[in-house]
């Protein structure tokens, strides 16, 4: 029975454990380790195949899969691909003890440089190999690993006639969507125009933001411990994680509430851009009617379509039942003439895939977020101002921009509160809101200064104008925000204080400061 090799196998893990422990101890170097030294040590605490260096194909493939063309060009000293929470724990311990800077990438959809990748002075933890999924608690909960995309999650849930409050674009990744910083793998970079939807679920009007539907986080804390945070255990951390970004630890599993769902009415509606004012008027009424029926969501995207050299309105739409134009929510929509529509009774996967195909990655990009009281004139004025600002650049190759409007109604805010609340600081008094996403795309690095400058110009004009008109709302939605935007401050001083106290409790020595990217407290 006990052959020599079986004995060797049996003691192997013990011997490995001892050397792993010594590698995980603090190095004697007072300045900490160089990024190369960090990577060399990482090979000792993981399987060496999990540490990828710049000369490997796998490293290049991971780099190429970032949504942002600029992030794809950052070259970390190495990329590590943990396969479970224990691997993540070892990497975090090694990094925090030795002052190794790192970034974390779940799906890589975040738009700004350094949000989920890092340069040669650090390494990147790529969660793409963490793809477990299972139903728990009599199918009331689905446990999802952060390397999955929503397409995988919906594909798993559909046969059970279940759904959860995940992304509307199926290629978006789980980790960033729920923590701030949507994540997505690229399908193609060749579409004629580039449009974005995401962050808010088709279930959100009834059940709140995606993060309001997480019932438990499994998280690796600064000291490497793997713990749960939920309503009854570490409820302070549970609350903070709903807007946590990169401040508290690396989430290795999200347990989310499930909801029954079979057929829906969904697809896309396309309109002539000159109908913008009519459509925004319609959206104000639609947002009010969401209080009567929260089962539908439409989000018009007014985008420059380079192929046609004109703007176009693309409106992804879904109603969570097998009924076309349900009244009263959709009253009046049929009076607005479409150019084309793909509305049909189908399943949700088919709609989220369609949206994903309309929003490829690979460009250099800038996004920003803005919220204001539901209002028909301001969106159209932002479009006109944006056209004035971007028009001089629109003849350049691969250059476009889009204005996406999404309703957040009082019912959605109340739903979030009912599910335990989050740090966003929204309340009934905010009333019905429009959430704006501006997204700008180009591919030539020589255009960076122009395009980033133009984006800042539109951000300033839109914010100032919303304030002048008494429509401004302080909420900045993290998933769409630019790194220059004060996202956490927008949650309000009380919530920021509370988040900081949670941070002090779970990372008293600030060990996680070596984690770069995201929005920091």
Ligand X SMILES: *[C@@H]1O[C@H](CO)[C@@H](O)[C@H](O)[C@H]1NC(C)=O
Binding site for ligand X (CB under 6 A): 25, 27-28, 31-32, 99, 101, 137, 140-141, 158, 189, 215-216, 228, 230, 232-233, 255, 272, 274, 310, 339, 346-347, 349-350, 362, 397-398, 443-444
Cβ nearer to ligand X, comparing 56 with 513: 513
Cβ nearer to ligand X, comparing 97 with 433: 97
Cβ nearer to ligand X, comparing 49 with 274: 274
Across 53-77, b (16+ Cβ under 10 Å) vs e yields eeeeeebeebbebbbbbbbbebebb
Cβ nearer to ligand X, comparing 32 with 321: 32
| CB of 97 vs ligand X, minimal distance in Å | 10
Calculate helix-pair angle for 35-45, 85-97, nearest 10 degrees: 140
| CB of 234 vs ligand X, minimal distance in Å | 7
| CB of 226 vs ligand X, minimal distance in Å | 10
Length of the chain: 521
Answer whether 366's CB lies under 8 Å from 450's CB: no
| CB of 490 vs ligand X, minimal distance in Å | 28
| CB of 305 vs ligand X, minimal distance in Å | 8
Cβ nearer to ligand X, comparing 398 with 473: 398
| CB of 142 vs ligand X, minimal distance in Å | 11
Cβ nearer to ligand X, comparing 2 with 309: 309
Phi then psi dihedrals of residue 154, to 5 deg: -70, -40
- Indicate left, alpha or beta for 18 from its phi (over 0: left) and psi (-120 to 50: alpha): alpha
List, in order, residues 6 or more apart from 472 with CB less than 8 Å away: 372, 463, 466
Residue 459 has a CB neighbour count (10 Å cut-off) of 18
Answer whether 74's CB lies under 8 Å from 119's CB: yes
| CB of 269 vs ligand X, minimal distance in Å | 14
Answer whether 393's CB lies under 8 Å from 454's CB: yes
Cβ nearer to ligand X, comparing 100 with 182: 100
Cβ nearer to ligand X, comparing 227 with 496: 227
Segment holding 205, helix H or strand E: helix 204-207
Q: With H, G, I as helix, E, B as strand and everything else as coil, classify residue 27.
A: coil
| CB of 43 vs ligand X, minimal distance in Å | 15
Opening angle at CA 341, ends 339 and 344, nearest 5 = 165
| CB of 442 vs ligand X, minimal distance in Å | 8
User: What is the pairing mode between strands 123-126 and 102-105?
Assistant: parallel
Cβ nearer to ligand X, comparing 192 with 334: 192
CA 279 to chain centre: 27
Cβ nearer to ligand X, comparing 31 with 57: 31
Cβ nearer to ligand X, comparing 218 with 432: 218
Paired tokens of 484: 């220059």
Residue 2 has a CB neighbour count (10 Å cut-off) of 7
Q: Where are the beta strands (DSSP E) in 443-493?
A: 472-473
Residue 400 has a CB neighbour count (10 Å cut-off) of 23
| CB of 332 vs ligand X, minimal distance in Å | 20
Q: Report the distance separating Cα 51 and Cα 69, nearest Å.
A: 23
| CB of 28 vs ligand X, minimal distance in Å | 4
Answer whether 151's CB lies under 8 Å from 356's CB: yes
- The CB-side HSE value for 431 (13 A sphere, CA atoms) comes to 9
Answer whether 268's CB lies under 8 Å from 316's CB: yes
């Amino acid at each position: 029975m006990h052959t020599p090799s079986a004995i060797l196998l049996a003691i192997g893990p013990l011997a490995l454990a001892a050397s792993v422990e010594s590698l995980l101890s603090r190095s004697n170097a007072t300045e900490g380790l160089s990024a190369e030294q960090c990577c060399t040590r990482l090979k000792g605490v993981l399987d060496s195949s999990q540490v990828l260096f710049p000369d490997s194909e796998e490293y290049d493939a991971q780099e190429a899969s970032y949504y942002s063309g600029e992030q794809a060009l950052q070259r970390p000293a190495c990329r590590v691909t943990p396969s479970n929470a224990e691997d993540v724990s070892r990497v975090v311990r090694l990094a925090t003890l030795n002052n190794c800077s790192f970034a974390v990438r779940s799906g890589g959809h975040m738009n700004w440089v350094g949000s989920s990748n890092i340069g040669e002075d650090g390494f990147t933890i790529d969660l793409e190999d963490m793809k477990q999924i299972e139903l728990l608690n009599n199918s009331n909960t689905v446990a999802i690993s952060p390397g999955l995309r929503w397409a995988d999650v919906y594909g798993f849930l559909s046969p059970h006639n279940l759904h959860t409050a995940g992304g509307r674009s199926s290629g978006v990744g789980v980790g960033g969507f729920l923590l701030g910083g949507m994540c997505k793998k690229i399908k193609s970079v060749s579409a004629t125009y580039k449009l974005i939807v995401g962050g808010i679920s088709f279930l959100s009007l009834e059940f709140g933001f995606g993060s309001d539907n997480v019932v438990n986080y499994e998280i690796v804390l600064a000291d490497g411990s793997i713990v749960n945070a939920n309503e009854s255990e570490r409820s302070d951390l549970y609350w903070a994680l709903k807007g946590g970004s990169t401040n508290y630890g690396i989430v290795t599993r999200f347990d989310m509430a499930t909801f029954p769902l079979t057929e829906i009415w969904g697809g896309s509606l396309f309109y002539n851009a000159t109908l913008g004012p009519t459509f925004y008027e319609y959206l104000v009424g639609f947002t009010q009617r969401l209080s009567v029926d929260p089962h539908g969501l439409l989000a018009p995207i007014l985008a420059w379509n380079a192929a046609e050299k004109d703007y176009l309105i693309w409106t992804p739409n879904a109603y969570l039942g097998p009924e076309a134009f349900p009244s009263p929510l959709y009253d009046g929509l049929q009076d607005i003439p479409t150019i084309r529509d793909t509305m049909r009774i189908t399943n949700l996967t088919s709609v989220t895939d369609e949206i994903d195909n309309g929003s490829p990655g690979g460009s250099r990009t800038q996004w920003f977020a803005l919220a204001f009281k539901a209002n028909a004139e301001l969106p159209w004025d932002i479009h006109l101002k944006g056209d004035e600002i971007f028009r001089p650049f629109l003849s350049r190759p691969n250059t476009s921009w889009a204005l996406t409007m999404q309703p957040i109604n009082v019912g959605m805010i109340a739903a979030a509160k009912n599910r335990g609340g989050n740090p966003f600081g929204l309340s009934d008094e905010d009333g019905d809101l429009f959430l704006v996403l501006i997204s700008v795309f180009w591919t030539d690095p020589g255009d960076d200064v122009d395009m980033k400058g133009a984006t800042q110009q539109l951000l300033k004009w839109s914010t100032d104008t919303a304030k002048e008109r008494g429509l401004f709302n302080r909420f900045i939605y993290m998933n769409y925000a630019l790194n220059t935007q004060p996202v956490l401050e927008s949650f309000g001083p009380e919530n920021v204080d509370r988040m900081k106290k949670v941070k002090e409790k779970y990372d008293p020595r600030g060990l996680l400061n070596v984690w770069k990217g995201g929005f920091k407290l």
